[in-house]
Homo-oligomer: A and B are copies of this chain.
């Protein structure tokens, strides 16, 4: 379950990710020496909360979730990661990781040790900038997510989640219309702050409205326009769930 393949240290310029990793990169960065690439499998843990912070990682392929643990023992997923994402930035705070990272499928990461990183930062303004940019981006993403948690109902949050996934895949040159969820319904529910039953009901509902098609983990977006309308926040009874459960004929007017 946790077989890891270690390759030889190599230069960034030979990496398949170059151009994507540290998105807007200058020439100097491609000489960054990377200690190793590793392959992990589903459920493998990259690092756990409390573990010593000694490197940051870039996800090369696959996907992962990061989560924090409450005093109560409850796990809270704070984000999902896709290829190109920087992972481990939480460690700068106090020298050990606050989050833990678990892979959702077979994935590979590029590891950049702290020493290597600091050397690179000392020499390259653009590496400094890219790292700060990555962290700033993470911060802004969480802010937007906060906003949706506090201001959207369940249907809007789930729609928003699907649209975000869609755009993540498109950014990476994959289809934003048809894609596979690498996380379980439990993960989605946890992330979006709702019950798993609600996730299930809403997916079914979106399917019944011909907005998406769901087949297990496979999602197909049938009507992007309608899906976008699902997250328009309006006053009054909530759009999708309420409409279907209590006022079966209202939803057509809202969406069509």
Q: Is the CB of A232 within 8 A of B90?
A: no
The answer for the CA separation of A99 and B118 in the assembled complex, in Å, is 29
A98 at the interface (CB under 8 A from B): yes
**Could you list 24 examples of A-B contacts with CB < 8 Å?**
A68-B143, A68-B147, A70-B147, A70-B233, A72-B151, A72-B233, A76-B147, A78-B146, A78-B147, A89-B135, A89-B139, A90-B143, A92-B135, A93-B137, A93-B140, A98-B143, A118-B125, A122-B128, A128-B128, A138-B139, A142-B143, A145-B146, A149-B193, A150-B190
Q: Which residues of B sit under 8 angstroms from A122, Cβ to Cβ?
A: 122, 125, 128
Determine how close the nearest CB of chain B comes to the CB of A103; give it in whole angstroms.
Answer: 19
Determine how close the nearest CB of chain B comes to the CB of A72; give it in whole angstroms.
Answer: 4
Q: Is the CB of A233 within 8 A of B74?
A: yes
Complex partner residue of A92 from B76, B118, B133, B193, CB under 8 angstroms: B133
A176 at the interface (CB under 8 A from B): no
The answer for the CA separation of A233 and B73 in the assembled complex, in Å, is 10
Q: Which residues of B sit under 8 angstroms from A92, Cβ to Cβ?
A: 129, 132-133, 135-137
Q: Is the CB of A136 within 8 A of B135?
A: yes
Given that A118-B125, A151-B70, A151-B72 are contacting pairs, would A93 and B146 also be in contact in the complex, using a CB cutoff of 8 Å? Answer: no
The copy count of this chain in the complex is 2
The answer for the CA separation of A93 and B147 in the assembled complex, in Å, is 18
Chain A 127-170 against B: per-residue CB contact (8 Å), 1 yes, 0 no?
Answer: 01101110111111011111101110000000000000000000
A91 at the interface (CB under 8 A from B): yes
Task: Choose among A118, A121, A143, A193 the residue with the greatest number of B CB atoms under 10 Å from its CB.
Answer: A143
